[in-house]
Chains A and B, each alone.
Chain A
Amino acid sequence: MKVFLKLALFYGIINVFIEESLFNYPEYFPKTKYDFSKNNLSKTKIELGRMLFYDPILSIDSTISCESCHSPYNAFSHTDHRLSHGINDKIGKRNAPPLFNLAWKSSFMRDGAVNHLDMQSLVPITDSLEMGNSLDNLLYKLKKNQKYITMFYEAFGDSTINLDRVLKSISQFELTLISKNSKYDRFRLGEDHFSDQEIRGYELFKKNCSNCHKEPMFTNYKFENNFLDINQVLLDSGRFSITKNSDDFMSFEVPSLRNLSYTYPYMHDGRFSNLFEVLKHYSGPKFNSVSLTEKETIDIISFLLTLNDKEFILNPENKFPVNKLLK
């Protein structure tokens, strides 16, 4: 009995240790929102999720993977395209957002249409403009694939392939995409310092922007109206389309401002192709509260660039699983 207890304790400690090493973040980050108790992280499940993320097998004609619109080199967004492209080059309705620090979010998509990370993948998989697949066909394709039979076995202890497991594994991989090694983060930890220009930019940012783009995640996770004119082609009214509440007209989820150098173009429809255009919008007549001189604009941009996380972009653990997927 005692031996058993000791073993159990040992196993527990090891497990906590493993989990911590799979998911850790700086002390100044807020608490996560994702309920890990319902989807315990494990190395094999994360690896399986990574495979699924990069594998075009998820789309109806095996041409499009999640990566097609969420590239690791763009902090998992889709650079150079205002709107996303799906199967048969169909154009989507919005600019693909970057994917990182997802464990801190409790709603997804620019209008918050999706309420849980696990359920998010259902949208691109079944959307006729994205991967155009059916859930039955997805499972059929995976069940025929020896590689997946083995990986599901390794991850779950038996080779049952069902949707629940697919969704949770993709979540596991996405949850491990944590951006926390920018210059700003090193500054917070006292490991680096800001230039005078960056400090001026930081002060201006705190005054003008951090209400919505709140540190250290650079979003307050709310839906806000930043006074963009409605896109006359897409007629995307943002949060309003979900709540039908007139207060929400043209409100969009406040995006994080980490990794901006990798995620252009900006806003839900990709209307601004660089940060000067963005800042011009914020100092324009619409956005009354802010009036920025050219010098101040440059100062703010220099601060925004401290939020780039090169380590995250280059992290090999986030990238295409070459040895597995091409084998």
Chain B
Amino acid sequence: MSNKFEKFAATCGFFFKYFISFLFIFFTYNLFPQENIEFQATFNNEATKLNKNYSIRKYHFNIKKLKFYVSNISYYNRKNDEIFTDEKVYLVDLNNPKSLKIKSQINKKSQLYSFDLGLDSVINVSGSLGGALDPIEGMYWAWQSGYINFKIEWESNMCSNDNNQFIFHLGGYKKPYYNKRTVLVKKRHIHRLIFNLNKFLKKINCDRQMIMSPSLKGENISNLIVKSFEFKK
């Protein structure tokens, strides 16, 4: 008799423990909800897919690659008026849906402040680092050391010539071509960071369809990329 009771009590205790942990997790989750930041690329207001044909008036576009480094994601904590930075480096690749979502520090007290497109010079001169920074990712220039910060390749008939290919590999960590760009967000409740391809492509001209090393043209394209970002809740 007492044996049965003990078993019953033990089972109750067992479930009770789980119940408490559940409550704990539930409340902490609600107190400090961890929200993702999500990168997107859009074409005509829809999420862009690689290797899909899009058109704007008589021109067609087909994005082949879109891949870039994001670093120094910074958050502003309203409560104690402080900015803090995530030291991790992320490689965002449209070809890898998982890479588009980044676990953020956004919660009731803190909001997204800014992020960097590309990598700083220290990373660029630190040798082999592995992980997202492994040259196997195809984001490293071996012949002249340095990371590619932003890679976009597409095909389009937008120029009146036979060449449909556009290849922009943007990078550089030394003056005069220090290519890393900071994108300021500074708005509350922002989670979605959208690279608006319509905005970007509208400003591309046909004077150079290929950029494969640090250059003035590359710097201008990078400025255009920053301006093509939009922020949504």
Using CB atoms and an 8 Å cutoff, list the residues of chain A in contact with chain B. Answer: 35, 38-39, 113-119, 122-123, 126-127, 135-136, 139, 162-164, 167-168, 171, 242
Contact = CB atoms under 8 A, between A and B. Distances in A.
20 contacts: A35-B127, A39-B128, A114-B142, A115-B145, A116-B125, A116-B127, A118-B128, A119-B127, A119-B128, A119-B135, A122-B142, A123-B142, A135-B135, A162-B130, A162-B134, A164-B129, A164-B130, A164-B134, A168-B128, A171-B127
Given A113-B145, A114-B145, A122 B135 contact: yes
A116 B134 contact: no
A163 B144 CA distance: 18
Interface in B120-145: 124-130, 134-136, 140, 142-145
Give the secondary structure class of B's interface.
loop
Contacts of A127: 142-143
A163 B138 CA distance: 12
B126 A163 contact: no
A136 B129 CA distance: 17
Contacts of B124: 115
Give the secondary structure class of A's interface.
helix
A242 B128 contact: no
Given A35-B126, A162-B134, 8 more contacts: A39-B128, A113-B145, A115-B124, A135-B135, A136-B136, A163-B136, A164-B129, A164-B134
Contact of A119 (B130, B136, B142): B142
Given A38-B126, A164-B130, A116 B145 contact: yes
Give the residue among A39, A119, A139, A168 with the most B Cβ atoms within 10 A: A119
A130 to B, nearest CB: 11
A38 B127 contact: yes
Contacts of B142: 114, 119, 122-123, 126-127
B76 to A, nearest CB: 33
Given A113-B145, A123-B142, A127-B143, A118 B136 contact: no
Interface residues of B, number: 16
A135 B139 CA distance: 12
A35 B136 CA distance: 22
B49 to A, nearest CB: 24
Nearest to B144: A113
| Chain A to chain B: the 5 pairs with minimum beta-carbon distance, closest first | A118-B127, A164-B130, A122-B142, A118-B128, A116-B127
B26 to A, nearest CB: 38
Contacts of A114: 142, 144-145
Nearest to A241: B144
A292 B190 CA distance: 73
A115 B125 contact: yes
B143 A113 contact: yes
Contacts of B128: 39, 116, 118-119, 163-164, 167-168, 171
Contacts of B146: 115
Nearest to B133: A164
A35 B122 CA distance: 13
Contacts of A117: 127
A39 B136 CA distance: 19
Interface string B55-70: 0000000000000000
A220 B82 CA distance: 46
Nearest to A115: B145
Contacts of B140: 119, 122
